[in-house]
Structure 1
Amino acid sequence: MINTRAKLRVRVERFPIRGSFTIARGSKTEAVVVVAEVAAAGHVGRGECVPYARYGESVDGVAARIAGLEGEIAAGLDRARLQERLPAGAARNALDCALWDLEAKTTGRPVHALLGLPAPEPRLTCYTLSLDAPEAMARAAAAAGRPLLKLKLGAPGDAERLAAIRAAVPQARLVVDANEGWSAEVLPRMMAACAQARVELIEQPLPAADDGALASIPRPVPVCADESVHDRAGLAALRDRYDAINIKLDKAGGLTEALALADAAERQGFFLMVGCMLATSLAMAPAMLVAQRARIVDLDGPLLLAHDREPGLRYEGALAFPPAPELWG
């Protein structure tokens, strides 16, 4: 229970992207994040979220939803009650992670210890290539020099993109993210192209509303649900359509639900990917705890920014390291 003198602050921050970032839905040149801070007993807990229009969220709406709980935070709102007060989504994520961070700082125990988990270790992360022409993506893949690449696809010419990238980086591991950009009609052909390119995983090939078609289409490459899964509520309906799920704290509504979702998914036979929105190290830090059990880790958000917050996560090549207490947890 948070001290009754707890105070809540909410702010919006903007971080320019290095160049631009393009997916099947469009391009952006900056990451816009909402930060929640809960202060009590001389300590401040922080959490960061990214409102996502695809899920009906806006920056102003998420900031207002967080700020609307100011009185309840002051009165001692805890994480368990927060799960009931807010639905899964960005606003709950920022507050949930801020409350975890505050408890760690006030007790002097890291979040992993509070959860009864072993200390997190560095994990190999994907490096994301923005959607572009085949030749441009092939050049970017070669220049990245990374062992694990995530390719943003979902537009005409994807088979050519895959072939060009594979030729440019014959040894790299590849993950594809179509961002709902394919149709059931082109899916068998794109599945074959992915298999030919030795792709390890395909994220969300079909629109979430149309993904029932996956139940009757052969899957030579494992398929991962992203937009189709948020929290535990919709998990069971996906078992015949997907092999894996992508857990993002902004979708799940925080670390609390993300860990529960991971437990439920593994029990139902899914393997795990942990992902992120385009955000700073403060958003990646709690996800590093979920990353410890994920087969594919995609926490490269800060690497795509012109600058990260300080202190940030430490990245050494393709390795992402757990956060220092000064950052989170």
Structure 2
Amino acid sequence: MAEPSVLDANKPHNALPKKVTPKKKNVLIKHWDLYLIMVPGILFFLIYRYVPMWGVVIAFQDYSVFAGISGSEWVGWKHFERMFETEEFYRIFSNTLLISLYKLFWGFPAPIIVALMLNELRNMLYKRTIQTVIYMPHFLSWVIVGGIMINILEPSTGIINQFISFLGFEPIYFIADDSWFRTVLVTSDLWKSVGWGTILYLAALAGINPQLYEAARVDGANKWQQTWHITLPSLLPTIVILFILQMGNILEVGFEQVFILLNPLVYNVGDVFETYVYRVGITQGQFSYTTAVGLFKSVIALILVVGANKIAKKLGQNGLW
């Protein structure tokens, strides 16, 4: 019997032949079609979101259209100091904050409630009809919605005031009344957006395991107990994410809606950042000052988003990052 060679003796007994693995393709080349789909979205944000940010520097200049950004005089915090010294700024800030909080208070839970109600409907034809009806206002522009609201609330021919007159009360000029204007804004926004907002919640409801409800019924839980202990906890991650995003828009009342419904009689309760920036910045040419106002609003929005995200993390929920 042949003796093992020196080379064979040096080899480990448990040595296995090396596995030859094929070279991995470059991820960019392998998934080129997916990256190609991303290009339009990336270009959109680059062109319309990031490139215009260069214009923020005029908030620290006495900007002149003829001198341009590079030729305008730098003045530091001058426009921010003017902003905090102007009573008008505090008026538009309080108007924006109050209207946003009203919309958040009424508009944020409304899609959740509607989604829960629609989820309980068993007649599919009736359910889809209701969904279609409440979704439709979302696809109308604020020009159309504003015209509808003005016609409905018109003091002499509007259907609301005709009903009020029928009951024996004096007609109310809702659009020009300080005590009613914010209610009109919140109500019209709710009518336009609540149907569309239910889509995400209905999708989240569809992902809940039906066996959880079956187990709850076996244990004797009624509909309210099932909603409280199964449905709402399952919706909570979606609710938290949307709430954080909503906090970022707390100072975004919506230019189109307010601009269409606003009139000089209700400036003291309806004038907000967007309409103020348009009126003072565009029509009066105070570009640097209104850029400072817009930058202040963006900084506040960033603080609110970061704060809401940290609070969500501390409460054990998933944040945006």
Give the number of the structure whose residues are more often helix, by fraction: 2
Larger Rg: 2
Give the number of the structure whose residues are more often strand, by fraction: 1
TM-score higher than 0.5:
no
Structure number with greater CO (CA < 8 Å, separation at least 6) is 2
TM-score (norm 1): 0.24
TM-score (norm 2): 0.25
